[in-house]
Amino acid sequence: MTAEMDLTEFQENKKRRIALIHKVFLSQLKTNRKYTASTKTKAEVRGGGRKPWRQKGTGQARAGSSRSPLWVGGGVSFGPKPRVVDKKVNRKERRLAIISAFYLKENNTKILSPDVLENSENFKTKTIDRFLANLKISKEEKTLIIVPKITQKLWFSLRNIPNVNVTLATCLNLNQLLNSANILVSRNSLTLINETYGRKSSAKTN
């Protein structure tokens, strides 16, 4: 893979790139987390419309509602509510983190000819299963296949193979890259990855 890609810049700034990968990865975990815990406030708890006892003369503390947060069965003060957390990451940072994670996985990446991953005649479950076995890829390891275009035939042939995922070269996901033990990419996909997440893409956005 080193012959196909220029890794000098990544190696020079490896510590800084790994820190960026960590930052983007944590932001994705934070954004994907679902905050569903919900408590009722005093206004939402059923009942408590009537004053429990008169204001004066009973010797007890003043009380206006039995659904006060001070009472058992009352509302909750400052309790959790369902909310959406979106931790923003700049587009350049996200793209740089993805391409850096791709470089980081160079020892687990196999670059194949377009005929292997893009030829519709190979899109059969048996064929792909045999192909993975020839590459000595275990079914227990997570494998990511990166292609320029996902066809219906390719999707149907891969969906019954465990731990094998397929994605577009222009739609890479940082979590998928980091969690995959094996990455299979075609030469055409490699070109698209460099164009989408490399320096050329950042120059276009400016």
Three-state secondary structure string covering the chain: CCCCCCCHHHHHCHHHHHHHHHHHHHHHHHHHCCECCCCCCCCCCCCCCCCCCCCCCCCCCCCCCCCCCCCCCCCCCCCCCCECCCCCCCHHHHHHHHHHHHHHCHHHEEEECHHHHHCHHHCCHHHHHHHHHHCCCCCCCCEEEEECCCCHHHHHHHCCCCCEEEEECCCCCHHHHHHCCEEEEEHHHHHHHHHHHCHHHHHHHC
Of 69-73, 102-106, 122-126, which gets the smallest average pLDDT?
122-126
Q: How confident is the model at residue 3 (pLDDT cuts 50, 70, 90)?
A: very low
pLDDT: which is higher, 115 or 164: 164
| pLDDT, mean of residues 178-202 | 81
For the cut 80, the answer to whether the pLDDT of residue 186 exceeds it is yes
> Domain residue spans in the chain?
90-205
Please, which residues have CB within 8 angstroms of residue 113's CB and are 6 or more apart in sequence?
Answer: 186, 187
Domain 90-205 has CATH 3.40.1370.10: yes
For the cut 70, the answer to whether the pLDDT of residue 55 exceeds it is yes
Contact 153, 120 (CB under 8 A): yes
pTM higher than 0.75, yes or no?
no
CA angle 11, 15, 16 (to 5 degrees): 100
| pLDDT, mean of residues 33-62 | 91
